[in-house]
Amino acid sequence: MSITATPTPGSTLLSPGDHTLIMIDHQSQMAFATHSIDATTLRTNAALVAHAAAGFGVSTILTTVAEKSFSGPIFDEIADAFPGAEVTDRTSMNTWEDANVIRRVNAIGKDRLVFAGLWTSVCIVGPTLSAIDQGFEVYVIADACGDVSAEAHERAMARMIQAGVRPMTSLQYMLELQRDWARTETYDLTTGIAKKYGGAYGLGIIYAKTMFGASEGSRAA
């Protein structure tokens, strides 16, 4: 039996309106002990995710743990992307056990969740496994997470993947939201975030535009 291809996206691809992003404990004290990824890269990746989500209008929950007594404020790059947004502070290591966070999840009402945060083996494993157990579809942005060692991060990712979590990266997250350069209304948003936070890819966009006037999505003659 033959299969007929159609130009439609796969059902597991993310779109801006089909999920809630939950960013957990991107805070100074948590970052100090993170060694699976360097602090600069972590902050850059978290910023890329936050600004992409804000720009595309993704429903987003920001949460911290013991902000005033121990862990410090959320990264400025995230706060800047969501000025004036509610940040839910918790005592629980497992975000899913915090009634205020769950209230926000239920109020938004999306059954597809995307997580990023510190540390992978505690504050990401806890809510992702809990959400999957309750029937949610779960993604984790691996390079916007970090842990006390590479081993801890990798074992946590493996454990979550075994449970059904779909892993992805920060740049992949943004480009999946854009997905077509013909979407001109978000073209400048996407390339602008890439230029600022997209590393070598962003430099390539700057170079091509400056040297040749080229842009993403342009077709060769």
Q: What is the pLDDT of residue 220?
A: 47
Task: Please determine, for residue 143, whether its predicted confidence score (pLDDT) is greater than 80.
Answer: yes
217: pLDDT confidence band, cut at 50, 70 and 90? low
108: pLDDT confidence band, cut at 50, 70 and 90? very high
Report d(CA 131, CA 30) in Å as an integer: 23
153: pLDDT confidence band, cut at 50, 70 and 90? very high
pTM for this entry: 0.93
Q: What is the pLDDT of residue 69?
A: 80
> What is the DSSP annotation of 174-192?
HHHHH--TT-GGGHHHHHH
Domains of the chain: which residue ranges? 20-175, 181-212
- pLDDT, averaged across the chain: 94
Residue with tokens 């970052």: 31
Average the pLDDT over 197-217 and give the result: 80
pLDDT tens-place string over residues 35-57: 999 999 999 999 999 999 999 99
Task: Please determine, for residue 207, whether its predicted confidence score (pLDDT) is greater than 90.
Answer: no
> What is the DSSP annotation of 55-73?
HHT-EEEEEEESIIIII-P
- Would you call the peptide bond into 119 cis, given omega within 30 degrees of 0 as the criterion? yes
Report d(CA 218, CA 214) in Å as an integer: 7
What's the fold here for domain 20-175? Rossmann fold (3.40.50)
